[in-house]
Structure 1
Amino acid sequence: MCRIAGIIDKNKSSLQLENDVKAMCDVMKHGGPDDEGFYTNDSKSLHFGHRRLSIIDLSQNGHQPMFYDEGNLVITFNGEIYNYLELKEELTLLNFKFRTKSDTEVILAAYQAWGTASFEKLSGMFAFALYDMQKELNYLVRDKSGIKPLYYSTATENLVFASEVKAFKNISYSYTENPNWKVYFLAFGHLPEPTTTLKNVYALPKGNFLEYDLQTNIFEIKPFNNKKVNYQINTSKQAEVLIKELLQKAVKKHLIADAPIGVFSSGGIDSSIISLLADKYEGASINSLSINFDDEKFSEKQYQDLISAKIKGKHSEYTINEEIFSQHFPTALQAMDQPTTDGINSWFINYFAKENGLKAVLSGIGADELFGGYPSFKRIKVVNALSKFPKFLLKSGKYFNSSSLKRSYYLSYKNGVGKYLFLRGLFAPQEIAHLLNLSVNQVDKILNSIKVNIPNHLKDEEQASWLETNLYMQNQLLKDTDFMSMQHGVEVRVPFLDNEIITAIALIDNNIKYKGLRSKSLLIDAFKDILPEKIWNRNKMGFTFPFQNWLKHNQFFLNGLKASENPYIDKATNDFKNGKVHWAKMMAVYQVLNAK
Structure 2
Amino acid sequence: MCRIAGIIDKNKSIDQLQLEVKAMCDIMAHGGPDDKGYFEDKNQGLVFGHRRLSLIDLSPTGHQPMSYHKNKLTITYNGEIYNFLDLKKELLENGFQFVSQSDTEVILAAYQNWGIKAFEKLVGMFAFAIYDSEKQITFLVRDQMGIKPLYYAIENNRLVFASEVKAFEQSGNYSENKDWKTYFLAFGHIPEPYTTLSGVKVLPAGSVLSWDHISNKFDVLPFHFEQVAQNQVATSGLANQLHSAVKRHLLADAAVGVFLSGGIDSSIITLLADEVVGKNLQSLSINFNEAAFSEERFQQVVTAKTSGTHHQYVVKKEDFDQHFAEILTAMDQPSNDGINSWFVNKYAKETGLKAVLSGIGADELFGGYPSFNRMGLIRKLKLLPRFLLKLCAFIPDEKIKRICYLAYRNPIGEYLFLRGFFIPKDIARILGVRRAEVDTLIEALPVPSTLKTLKGKERASWFETNIFMRNQLLKDTDFMSMYHGVEVRVPFLDQDFVSFSDHIPASQRFQERPKGILIEAFKKLLPKMIWDRPKMGFTFPLQEWFLAGNQITDEKSYTGSPYSLKLLKKFKAGKIHWSKAFALYQISTRKF
Mark yes or no: TM-score above 0.5. yes
Q: Tell me if the contact between 2:177 and 2:198 (Cα under 8 Å) persists in the aligned partners.
A: yes
Please name the residue that 2:467 is paired with. 471
Letter in 2 for 1:400: I
The residue aligned with 1:129 is 129
Partner of 2:105: 105
Question: Which SS does the other structure have where 1:552 is aligned?
Answer: helix
- Corresponding position of 1:320: 315
Query: Is residue 64 of structure 1 aligned with residue 60 of structure 2?
Result: no
Q: Is 1:88 the counterpart of 2:88 in the alignment?
A: yes
Tell me the equivalent position of 2:36.
Answer: 36
Superposed structure 1 runs of 4+ greater than 6 Å apart: none
Q: Do structure 1's residue 409 and structure 2's residue 408 form an aligned pair?
A: no
Which position in structure 2 is the counterpart of 1:153? 153
Aligned to 1:305: 300
Q: Which residue identity does 2:402 align to in structure 1?
A: R
1:395 aligns with 2:390: yes
1:31–1:53: 8 Å Cα contact kept in structure 2?
A: yes
Residues 121-176 of structure 1: CA distance to partner in whole angstroms, max 9, x if unpaired?
000000000000000000000000000000000122111000000000133x2110
Does 316-325 or 567-576 show the bigger shift? 567-576
The Cα of 1:227 is off from its aligned counterpart by 4.5
C-alpha contact 1:83 1:124 (8 A) present in aligned 2: yes
> What residue in structure 2 maps to residue 515 of structure 1?
511
Q: Which amino acid aligns with 1:314?
A: T
Which residue of 490, 494, 497 maps to 2:493? 497
Give the Å deviation of 1:310. Answer: 1.0
2:139 is aligned to 139
Tell me what 1:6 maps to.
6
What letter matches 1:404 in structure 2? K
1:188 aligns with 2:187: yes
Deviations along 1:448-492, whole A, 9 cap, x unmatched? 121123523323000000000000000000000000000000000
Counterpart of 2:276 in structure 1: which amino acid?
Y
TM-score normalised to structure 2 length: 0.98
Q: Which moved more, 1:127-136 or 1:408-417?
A: 408-417
Alignment of 1:346-361 (within 5 A): 346-361=341-356
- Deviation readout 1:558-595 (Å, 9 max, x if unpaired): 22763324221122111111210001101111110011
Name 1:204's counterpart in structure 2.
203
> Which of these residues, 232, 239, 252, is aligned with residue 234 of structure 2?
239
Aligned partner of 2:216 in structure 1 is: 217
Report Cα offsets for 1:360-386 as digits up to 9, x if no partner.
Answer: 000000000001100000111111221
Match of 2:526 among 515, 527, 531: 531
Give the C-alpha shift of residue 232 in structure 1. Answer: 7.7
Is residue 382 from structure 1 mapped to residue 381 from structure 2 by the alignment? no
Q: Which amino acid aligns with 1:193?
A: E
The answer on whether the counterparts of 2:144 and 2:225 sit within 8 Å (CA) in structure 1 is no
Check 1:560–1:118 CA distance in 2 against 1; reply closer, same or farther (3 A cut).
farther
1:459–1:510 Cα contact (<8 Å) kept: no
2:414 aligned to 403, 419, 423, which one?
419
d(CA) in 1 for partners of 2:230, 2:482: 39
Provide the C-alpha distance between the structure 1 equivalents of 2:548 and 2:338, rounded to a whole number of angstroms: 20
Change in Cα spacing, 1:268 to 1:225, as seen in structure 2 (3 Å) is closer
1:564: which partner in 2? 559
| CA distance, structure 1, for counterparts of residue 8 and residue 555 of structure 2 | 39
Instruction: Report the alpha carbon displacement of residue 226 of structure 1 after superposing the two structures with TM.
Output: 4.0
Residues in 2 aligned to 1:561 and 1:212: alpha-carbon distance in whole angstroms: 47
TM-score (norm: length of structure 1): 0.97
Shift of 1:399: 1.5
Supply the distance in 1 between the matched residues of 2:286 and 2:137 (Cα, whole angstroms): 46
Worse overlay, 495-504 or 98-107: 495-504
Native 8 Å contact 2:186 2:416 kept in 1: yes
CA distance in 1, matches of 2:579, 2:141: 33
Q: Displacement, 1:405?
A: 2.1
Give the aligned residue type for 1:210. Answer: L
Q: Which deviations, in whole Å up to 9, do the C-alpha atoms of 1:219-261 show, x marking residues without a partner?
A: 00011144478x989xxx9210110010000000000010011
- Counterpart check, 1:434 vs 2:426: no
Q: CA deviation at 1:329?
A: 1.1
Asked whether the equivalents of residues 225 and 495 of structure 2 are also in contact (C-alpha less than 8 Å), the reply is: no
Question: In terms of mean alpha carbon deviation, does 379-388 or 239-248 score higher?
Answer: 379-388
Q: Which moved more, 1:443-452 or 1:384-393?
A: 384-393
Displacement, 1:404?
A: 1.9
Pairing 1:117–2:117 present: yes
**Which segment drifts farther, 219-228 or 36-45?**
219-228
The answer (yes or no) to whether the contact 2:21–2:49 under 8 Å persists in 1 is yes
Of 462, 467, 483, the residue aligned with 2:479 is 483
Q: Secondary structure of 1:51's partner?
A: strand
Shift of the 341–561 alpha-carbon distance from structure 1 to 2, 3 Å rule, reads farther
Q: Distance in 1 between matches of 2:511 and 2:233?
A: 14
The structure 1 residue matched to 2:457, chosen from 456, 461, 465, is: 461
Task: State the secondary structure of the residue aligned to 1:403.
Answer: coil
Q: Which runs of 5+ in 2 are unaligned?
A: none
Amino acid at match of 2:498: I
| Cα drift, residue 553 of structure 1 | 1.9
1:178 to partner: Cα distance: 0.4
Q: Secondary structure at the match of 2:452?
A: coil
**Deviations 1:204-223 (CA, angstroms, capped at 9, x unpaired):** 00000000001110000011
Deviations 1:546-567 (A, max 9, x none): 0000001221322276332422
Report the Cα distance in structure 1 between the residues aligned to 2:239 and 2:248, rounded to whole angstroms: 14
The answer to whether the 8 A contact 1:151-1:161 is kept is yes
Q: Map 1:18-29 onto structure 2 (within 5 A).
A: 18-29=18-29
Judged with a 3 Å threshold, the aligned counterparts in structure 2 of structure 1 residues 409 and 561 are, in CA distance, closer, same or farther, namely farther
Secondary structure in 1 matching 2:389: helix
The C-alpha deviation readout for 1:108-129, integer Å capped at 9, x for no partner, is 0000000000000000000000
Cα distance between partner residues in 1 of 2:156 and 2:406: 38
3-state SS of 2:445 partner: coil
Letter in 2 for 1:284: K
In the alignment, the residues of structure 2 paired with residue 326 and residue 152 of structure 1 have an alpha-carbon distance, to the nearest angstrom, of 35
**After superposition, what is the alpha-carbon deviation per residue over 1:334-392, rounded to whole angstroms, capped at 9, x for unaligned?**
11000000011111110000010000000000000001100000111111221232211
Answer whether contact 1:561 1:593 (CA < 8 A) is retained.
Answer: no
Cα RMSD over matched residues?
1.3
User: In 2, distance between residues paired with 1:255 and 1:388?
Assistant: 49
Q: Which moved more, 1:404-413 or 1:214-223?
A: 404-413
One-letter identity of the residue aligned with 2:437: Q
Alpha-carbon distance in 2 for matches of 1:117, 1:400: 53
1:514, distance to aligned residue in structure 2 (A): 1.3
CA distance in 2, matches of 1:534, 1:118: 44
Q: Is the CA contact (8 Å cut-off) linking 1:153 and 1:200 kept in structure 2? A: yes
Give the residue type in structure 1 aligned to 2:23. Answer: A
2:443 to 415, 439, 448: 448
**Structure 2 residue 336 is the aligned partner of structure 1 residue 341:** yes
Contact 2:290 2:541 in 1 (8 A): yes
Instruction: Provide the secondary structure at the position in 1 that maps to 2:75.
Output: strand
* Per-residue deviation, residues 523-568 of structure 1 (Å, max 9, x unmatched): 0010000100100111111111000000012213222763324221
Counterpart CA distance in 1 for 2:548 and 2:265 is 33
Query: In the alignment, what sits opposite 2:258?
Result: 263
Match of 2:55 in 1: 55
Say if 1:561 and 1:590, in contact at 8 Å, map to a contact too. Answer: no
How far, CA to CA, are the matches of 1:155 and 1:286 in structure 2? 48
